[in-house]
Structure formats: structure tokens, C-alpha cells
Structure 1
Amino acid sequence: MAICRLFSWALVCFTALVFSAKGETLFLSSLNWPPYTGEQLKDGGASAAVVSAALKAKGHDLHVDYYPWSRTIRMVSREDAIYSGYFPEYYYPTDQYVFSASIGSSPLGLLERRLYPIKWSRIKDLNQYTLGVVRDYVNTIELDEMITSGVQHVEVVSSDEHNIRKVATGRVHGAVIDKYVYNYYIHQPHLVELKNKLDMNKQLLASKQLYIAFKNTPEGHRWREVFNDGLALIDPEQIVEEYLASMK
């Protein structure tokens, strides 16, 4: 009888151990922002490849749904949301989200017309130009403060691709865009004809880190800890470098 009880207790403990070790799935929302993220990209993009590798290192899986950027954020904030966060995001002050460790870097710069380069040394020098920015994108703190105060003239668009066309046709003097995002789009068949009209400004606005923005909830904090532990077991920079090299 005692042996039966001992066996039953061992079975319960084993079942509990297996259950606790069972992998889970992290649900995140994202956008089509190649080469970092994209529904049609291999592995979902370079950033998605990093996130997936970090989760796999801890025995978990990743599921990503892709939306326009404004909806990407909105879908996470809904009360019935299945998403624990969204990515990739630049850091910004917020009580709504907590940020993961960095999943990579983003060289943020200015797209300009080749014949009419933007001349600046300080961020305030940009006030003489009208810049294209994407709705709800975080840029840099200084630039966003100038936009909010009205001293920086901008035209707000729905996508980076739209900004590329506006710069090429002279509807804005320049546009804020990630260097790798521009390099991806400008080599697409429907935009490659614009390549000879455009350049990235030689001076970067910033080299910004990319993160997952987890919801500021117990579940969000739990996933952030799990993810950060997995991220420490891989080399995210190498994954991104190899991914970008494979696209050339």
C-alpha cells in the first residue's frame, strides 16, 4: 500500500515536472518593416529570427501577426488581446509597456534627393526643411519634441514606402527612415527606378536599439524575463548580420 502511494506521488511529481517544462507560445504583433519584420520574409524578418531563436533557446515558440503600424500597437492594448507585446520598437518613456533587452540596432537617418542634399550639423538645423515621417513611429527624442512643439515642419504618411516616393518627387525635402529599410525597398522592382534620384544623408540621426515592448502586466513581465534569459544564450548581432548578408 505504501509502495502504491509512493508510486502515485512520484507519478504526480513527474506529471507536474513535464507540464511545467512544456513549451509555451509567445504571441506578438508586428508590422511589415523589411528587412526587420515581414509576413512574406524568410523567418518573418531579421528581428523575428532573433526573437524566435531566443525563445527556442528556452524551449518556447513564437507566433507573430502582422498589421499596419498603428494597428500593431492598438491590437496589444485591447482588453481581449492575445498578444503579450509588439516589436520591433525603439525605447520611449511609457507606463504601458516594459522593454526587453536589445534585439538589434537600427541606423536611423534621413533620405534625401541626390541633387538637393540636406545640410545639417545640429538637429535644429533641420527646422529649415520639411521632413516626411511615418504616423506613430518613434523617431528621436529631440526630433519628436521639435515636431510636437511645431518648430519642425513635417508631413505625416502611412508608410516608409510612401515617404520614399515623396522624397523622390520633391514633395518633401527629406524623410526619416532606417538605412536598411530604405536599402530593402529601393531594390524592389516597383521602386528601383527611383534609386538614381535618392541618397541616404551621410550623417545619421541616431543608431537606435530595437526592443520588444511587453505589456506592463504580470504576464508581460514574466515573458520579458523568459525572453531576456533566452536572448543571453544566443548572439543576436550575428543572426542579424547573417540574415542581412543572405538578402544581398
Structure 2
Amino acid sequence: MRAYNKTLIKALLWLGISFSCTQALGAADAPSEALSADVPNPPVVTIATGDWQPYVDSNMPDFGPMGMVIRTAFARAGYDVVFSVYPWTRNAQFVANGERDAMMPYYCSDERAVQFLCSDPIVAGEQVFFYRADMPFEWKKVDDLKNYTIGATLGYFYGQPFEDAERDGRLSVKRVADDHANLRLLMRGFIDLYPQDRAVGYGMVRAVLPKEDWSKIVHHPRPLHSKSLHVLFSRATGQGEALREIFNRELSAMRDSGELDTLLEPIYADQQAVRGGKPETPQ
């Protein structure tokens, strides 16, 4: 009986020591846990976008050259950036009602400048007409386009003269939801002209068409319109003005240092691959 009591006492003493050690270790760990809990997570900027290669590519870690510029600019101000991909028309809805902080890349039309807060220009964009190489095509003014069937994309802005002519019925325009569909319609002869940003158009040619067909699609050198691409910030979130100011400040520093040009250089690689030679850059 005495042996049993001794064994029981030893066991109870061991449990007491173990419990005390555990408490001590827990107390020692507590300050480090408190310290880690005190480290704030960086604020997040939520940006709605869509695949628009070569400017934006959701398959790339930083969402392509434009995504890299935006992420770099905000990172230097202590912000994380989260991109979400939606159809272009839904992007505008999300940003207008404050569900997202901003959207990119967009032209800053007069209408958009009223609804959103436009950043400083990031890169010059130039919309041109793509057409089949076996079809003679010249144009100088919008009215010269009335005898052609034009494929356009829902949610895109093609310059005010084009938009007015489409609305007034002076142009034959068929809008679809998908850029790649327009390129295929052009290749098959279902449409005559396809207006698109020049860099994007050649990116699509390279991605969608077999290499033997690359030379069958060309662009007219006269731009339909030349406008810069921007980040459009929400007026509904209450922080759009502040975010725009931060982004513009960091973007200006990147432009002055030459870093912006370096980050945007891959935009013109597709045109160079398709056509050869040095790619044209919009002025």
C-alpha cells in the first residue's frame, strides 16, 4: 500500500511540474505572439481588370506590364494590390458603386472623367483598323467607313466621332463580347474592319492565329484615335482621391527614373514578332 502511495505521489508531483513548465513556456511565448499580432497588414487596393494582352495578362504573376507598373507604384507607398478579372462592363459597375477601388486599363473619355477619377497617363495607346491584307483599304474620315462592316467589342470606346456615327446609324457596326471572336470573324471575312489598340491587335494575331496566317492581317497606319491608358479610381469609396494622388506621385517618380519605360517595353514585343523589325511606339 505504501509503495502504491509513493508511486501516486510521484506521479502527481510530475504532473504538477509539467503543468508549471507549460505555463512558463506559454508565458514566455505570449510576448512574441502579442508582437506579431501588433504588426499591421498593409492596406489593400482592389482593382478590377480584364485580360487585354499584352497590357494585362491574368496568367502572369503581376498581371502583365500594366499590372507590374501599378503593383510597383503602390508597393512603394506601402500598399498591396489585388486584381480581379471581370467583363469590361461589370468592371465599371463594380468601381462606380464602390465595390472595387479602381479599374484598369481604360481611356479617360469625357464621360468617364465625370463618373470616375482618372490617373495620370501611364502609356500611350493607339487604336487602328485591322483588316485582311487581300482587301484594299484606305480611309481619312469616319464617313469613309460607311461601306464596310465593322466588328467592335461591347464596352469599348472608339473615339467620339466613331461613337457618334455608330449611334446615328451612319456606320455598320456589329458589337460582340469577345475580342478574339472579332479577330476570327475578320479572318473568315464576316467583317471587313476591326478597330483595336495596335499592340493588343498584334498580340491577338500572335496568340489566336497560326503562324502561317500572321501576314494575312495588317493594320492601317492612320489611327482611329490616340489616347493614353489610365487607372480609373472610384468616387464612391471615399478614398479615391487619396489613392489617385499616391499612384500619380509614384508613377511620376518611375517615369523620371526611366523605370516606367523599362516595365512597359514588353508591350511591343508581339508586333515585332509578327511583323519583324523595330515596333512602332505611339507618340
Instruction: Say what the alpha-carbon RMSD is for the aligned residues.
Output: 2.3
Distance in structure 1 (CA, Å) of the matches to 2:185 and 2:138: 19
Q: Find the partner of 1:33 among 47, 52, 62.
A: 52
Within 5 Å, give how 1:1-248 maps onto structure 2.
23-78=42-97, 81=99, 83-94=100-111, 95-188=114-207, 191-217=210-236, 218-235=238-255, 236-242=260-266, 244-245=268-269
Distance in structure 2 (CA, Å) of the matches to 1:196 and 1:155: 25
Greater relative contact order: 1 or 2 (C-alpha under 8 angstroms, separation 6 or more)? Answer: 1
Distance in structure 2 (CA, Å) of the matches to 1:90 and 1:69: 12
**TM-score, normalisation: structure 1:** 0.83
Structure 1: unaligned runs, 5 residues or longer: 1-17
Q: Could you give the per-residue CA deviations for residues 16-54 of structure 1, whole angstroms, max 9, x where no partner exists?
A: xx99x9742211000011111121035201111111121
Q: Could you give the per-residue CA deviations for residues 193-233 of structure 1, whole angstroms, max 9, x where no partner exists?
A: 53232111122222220001111243111111111111111
Where does residue 5 of structure 1 map in the other structure? none
Q: Is the Cα contact below 8 Å between 1:35 and 1:45 reproduced in 2?
A: yes
Q: What is the aligned residue count?
A: 228
Distance in structure 1 (CA, Å) of the matches to 2:253 and 2:85: 27
Distance in structure 2 (CA, Å) of the matches to 1:45 and 1:120: 33
Matched residue SS, 2:110: coil
**TM-score, normalisation: structure 2:** 0.74
Distance of aligned partners of 1:242 and 1:134 in 2 relative to their CA distance in 1, 3 Å threshold: closer
Report sequence identity in percent: 23
Structure 2: unaligned runs, 5 residues or longer: 1-37, 274-283
Distance in structure 2 (CA, Å) of the matches to 1:194 and 1:169: 11
Q: Structure 1 or 2: larger helix share?
A: 2
Distance of aligned partners of 1:179 and 1:150 in 2 relative to their CA distance in 1, 3 Å threshold: same
Matched residue SS, 2:143: helix
Distance of aligned partners of 1:243 and 1:162 in 2 relative to their CA distance in 1, 3 Å threshold: closer
